[in-house]
Chains A and B, each alone.
Chain A
Amino acid sequence: MLMRVRTVARNLCGLLYLICRHPSALIGLVILVAYVVMALFAPVLAPYPPNTGSVRQSFLPPAWQEGGSPAHLLGTDHVGRDILSRIIYGARVSLWVGVLSVAISMVVGLVLGAISGYYRGIIDDVLSRFAELLMAFPFLLFAIGVMAILGPGFFNLIAALTFKSWVEFFRLVRGETISEKTKEYVEAARAQGQSNFRIVTGEILPNIIHSVVVLATLRVGYMIITEASLSFLGIGVQPGVPAWGSMVDDGRDYVRTAWWVSTMPGLALLLLVLAINLFGEGLRDILDPRLKVD
């Protein structure tokens, strides 16, 4: 057991070293860490709580504009809340939604994909057809529909996002398992009389986990955008919970008079997704060089 831990730790250190030598992955990682810190320490970092403010103070422009005040660096929204503070708190929503929904999808996809790819047969047929069926729905439309049924709220949001996105992982894991299964090391393990469970978890999984991790990283960005899109349509988390998408939506009626209300949270969102994608693609270059886009 200890040996395992040590190996994993050594691998992680090695990975970190490789990331540091990959400039775009490093930039992505640094920004990402900054966002995580921001989310974790939001109450300390944010100048105000996310929901305080006064209607009297509404539509203050950012500090550098005429009429702006250094007390509200990025200005205030239509009910006078500090936009910077809400962006900082909003990082919590986005990161949580992104990580949690991908983690769940990954686990479901991994289990079902491995079963499907390893055993084939009727289970594989059923699961694959079902996956194909789900693929025929546009993701956003599907999520909107699920949210309409469940109603807004954090966990409903996670459910809506994972309902379909496990399929991506399923397809990847299934495909990889099928191709790994015929390789010599699996044959060898089988010849040694190892159980199917051991073969899948001990032999096949470590060999395909790289591509799963890469896919997971890239999907986090996509999930965050989808969550923001749902919030933008008014069916994400509840108002009061500062989500970037609903902040952009709030400002939509006022783009003629107060451009910053929509612009600022969108910028925060863009930067985060950019960082995740930079990091994810860097990770892919390192872990999965055969997919490298040169």
Chain B
Amino acid sequence: MGRRNLFVWFVIMLAMLAGGIISGCAKKAEPPPSDQLRTLSFTIDCENYNKAVAEAVAQQLRELGVDVQVRVWGDWAVLKEALLNKEREMLVNDWGNSTLDPYDLLNPKFETGGRGNYAHYSNPRVDDLLKRGATGTDEAERERIYKEVQEILYDDAPWVFGYAMQEIEASRKTVQNWVPATDSRINLHRVSLTEGDTLVVGIRATIESLDPANHRNRIAETVIRNMFDGLVTRTPDGKVVPEIAESWEAISPTLWEFKIRKGITFHNGEPLTADDVKFTFDRIITEGGLGNGKSSPRKAGLLDPVTEVEKVDDYTVRFHLSAPWPIILQMLVHQQIVPKDYVERVGSEEFAKKPIGAGPFKFVEGKLDERVVMERYDGYYGGSPDIPGAGPARIKRAIFEVIPETSTRVAALQSGQAHIIQSVPPELVPELDKDPNCEVKTVEGTRVYFLEMNVTRPPFDDVRVRQAMNYAIDWDLIIEKVLGGYATRLNGPLLPHGFARHTGLSPYPFDPDRARQLLREAGYRTE
């Protein structure tokens, strides 16, 4: 009986295979007649802050005859679980990319099993390219690699590529020489005032800590950065320039040497040497480095490949890496140097209460959820010579005031109680524009917004449907009507001003006819 049974099975398999091939060919040859077309129907997930965009997108898709529901999730943790289970279809999402390097955007979002890959995209070629991009050392080669990735992603379209929001900040007209930074930090070193010598910055949330090694938060970094300097820093438009380090050299892809500037002193007058630099990084990369068994939260994702920091002489250090790490310089911007002797003497907790750094301002007093006051440090070495205006700070006193309520922050600026404020919502911009004493300033932000499509299940396992989605949405209209115009259309996943962005690709045009055609080819009814 065995053999006959096997034969029957074989015939059935063969028939199915033939049927599959024939129907596959038929599909390619001509779209099925319209009475066999199905209605495309799916759900768009989002969190509350992306709801307006999700609804606008849904609206435009409905005009094509797609049956779209919007689901707002109250709680990211629950949504994330569903996403990881590959249960969802389309997600309105965003991702920060303050290093401006594709490394911490493309790798987590498109590598097979990447920690933010909610499209569940998996492409061996892309995986290979991304691995080479992450460890490559030749800039031009990396650029070429990432451009190829962008071309593949453009055609494969696992996302509906969206837009980058601009950072909207505002200042009094009396504030001189201040522009918002693309990574949204506010550095007051070179800022001056036409009236008075105390400058107040209204920041949007509580400061997590004043210890550079013990936070995971951009606002804390903004405040800390005014009291501490790093080996390198970033210009407002995102270029890495020397700061405490005078120069550097990659001896090999896994060994970097930094020369430290001489004559730098901490606020307590002690000189800054290679010992302090080594201590700073040891504190972060060593388990339990903060004392009392606590480890620094600034290692994972920020310093992973660093295995050892070696002191060569008093003004030279070497970074040993476990693997080539081309974006080491962009990453070092986010670590600031602390004084070894002082920290060892008082301990991490006391240090966070009375921080001492080598930055342009020294700490006076502060409560993390109210305000931090700092004063000019007259012994400052002057900061990075590559940014115009090196020298001591212009203003005498700087105050960072925590004002979480948006409208209160705007009112503080208008009444002159604050000189610079973070995060102005687009709908309040017209009000500030009317105010003769205030100025709204915008800069390209470092966060991209997009729709992620789950490529592992219908309908988005079909590349034609994914491309159709890209053609079907009129982003310019959404940017104008829903986002107040403060966003920039993207041609792919990367930021417009980021490294290795492909300039040869133009964003998917809004082309409803093309979208309809693709949907019909994929077997869906359109209007």
Contact between chains at B427 and A78 (CB < 8 Å): no
Whether, in the assembled complex, B193 has its beta carbon less than 8 Å from a beta carbon of chain A, the answer is no
Binding site for A on B (CB under 8 A): 48, 51-52, 54-56, 58-60, 62-63, 69-75, 78, 427, 474, 477-478, 481-482
Min distance, Cβ A153 to any Cβ of chain B, angstroms: 9
Contact between chains at A54 and B74 (CB < 8 Å): no
**Minimum-distance CB pairs A-B, first 6:** A79-B59, A239-B70, A79-B56, A79-B55, A55-B56, A240-B70
Of the candidates B56, B69, B74, the one whose C-beta lies within 8 Å of that of A240 is B69
Whether, in the assembled complex, A24 has its beta carbon less than 8 Å from a beta carbon of chain B, the answer is no
Report how far A276 CA is from B477 CA in the complex, Å: 42
> With a CB–CB cut-off of 8 A, which chain B residues contact A254?
427
Known: A59-B481, A239-B72, A250-B52; 17 extra A-B contacts, CB below 8 A, are A51-B58, A52-B63, A54-B59, A55-B60, A56-B477, A58-B481, A80-B59, A81-B59, A147-B74, A151-B74, A234-B48, A234-B72, A238-B69, A239-B54, A240-B69, A240-B70, A256-B427
Whether, in the assembled complex, A143 has its beta carbon less than 8 Å from a beta carbon of chain B, the answer is no
By CB atoms of chain B within 10 A, which of A80, A148, A239 has the most?
A239
> With a CB–CB cut-off of 8 A, which chain B residues contact A58?
481
Whether, in the assembled complex, A235 has its beta carbon less than 8 Å from a beta carbon of chain B, the answer is yes
Min distance, Cβ A148 to any Cβ of chain B, angstroms: 6
Of the candidates B74, B477, B478, the one whose C-beta lies within 8 Å of that of A234 is B74
Chain B facing A: main interface SS: helix
CB contact under 8 A between A238 and B60, given known A55-B474, A55-B477, A254-B427: no
> With a CB–CB cut-off of 8 A, which chain B residues contact A238?
69-72
Interface bin, chain A: 20 to 34
> With a CB–CB cut-off of 8 A, which chain B residues contact A56?
477
Report how far A227 CA is from B70 CA in the complex, Å: 19
By CB atoms of chain A within 10 A, which of B55, B56, B78 has the most?
B55
Of the candidates B54, B56, B63, B72, the one whose C-beta lies within 8 Å of that of A152 is B72
Min distance, Cβ B327 to any Cβ of chain A, angstroms: 38
Binding site for B on A (CB under 8 A): 51-56, 58-59, 78-81, 147-148, 151-152, 234-235, 238-240, 250, 253-254, 256-257
Report how far A261 CA is from B127 CA in the complex, Å: 48
> With a CB–CB cut-off of 8 A, which chain A residues contact B63?
52, 54
By CB atoms of chain B within 10 A, which of A51, A55, A56, A147 has the most?
A55
> With a CB–CB cut-off of 8 A, which chain B residues contact A80?
59
Contact between chains at B478 and A55 (CB < 8 Å): yes
A-B contact pairs, 27 of them (CB 8 A): A51-B62, A52-B59, A52-B62, A53-B59, A54-B63, A55-B59, A55-B60, A55-B481, A58-B481, A59-B481, A78-B52, A78-B56, A78-B481, A79-B482, A81-B59, A148-B74, A148-B75, A152-B71, A152-B74, A235-B74, A238-B71, A239-B55, A239-B71, A240-B58, A253-B52, A254-B427, A257-B427
> With a CB–CB cut-off of 8 A, which chain A residues contact B74?
147-148, 151-152, 234-235
Min distance, Cβ B53 to any Cβ of chain A, angstroms: 10
Report how far A114 CA is from B59 CA in the complex, Å: 51
Residue of chain B at shortest CB distance from A77: B55
> With a CB–CB cut-off of 8 A, which chain A residues contact B474?
55
Report how far A53 CA is from B58 CA in the complex, Å: 10
> With a CB–CB cut-off of 8 A, which chain A residues contact B70?
238-240
Residue of chain B at shortest CB distance from A54: B63
Min distance, Cβ A159 to any Cβ of chain B, angstroms: 16
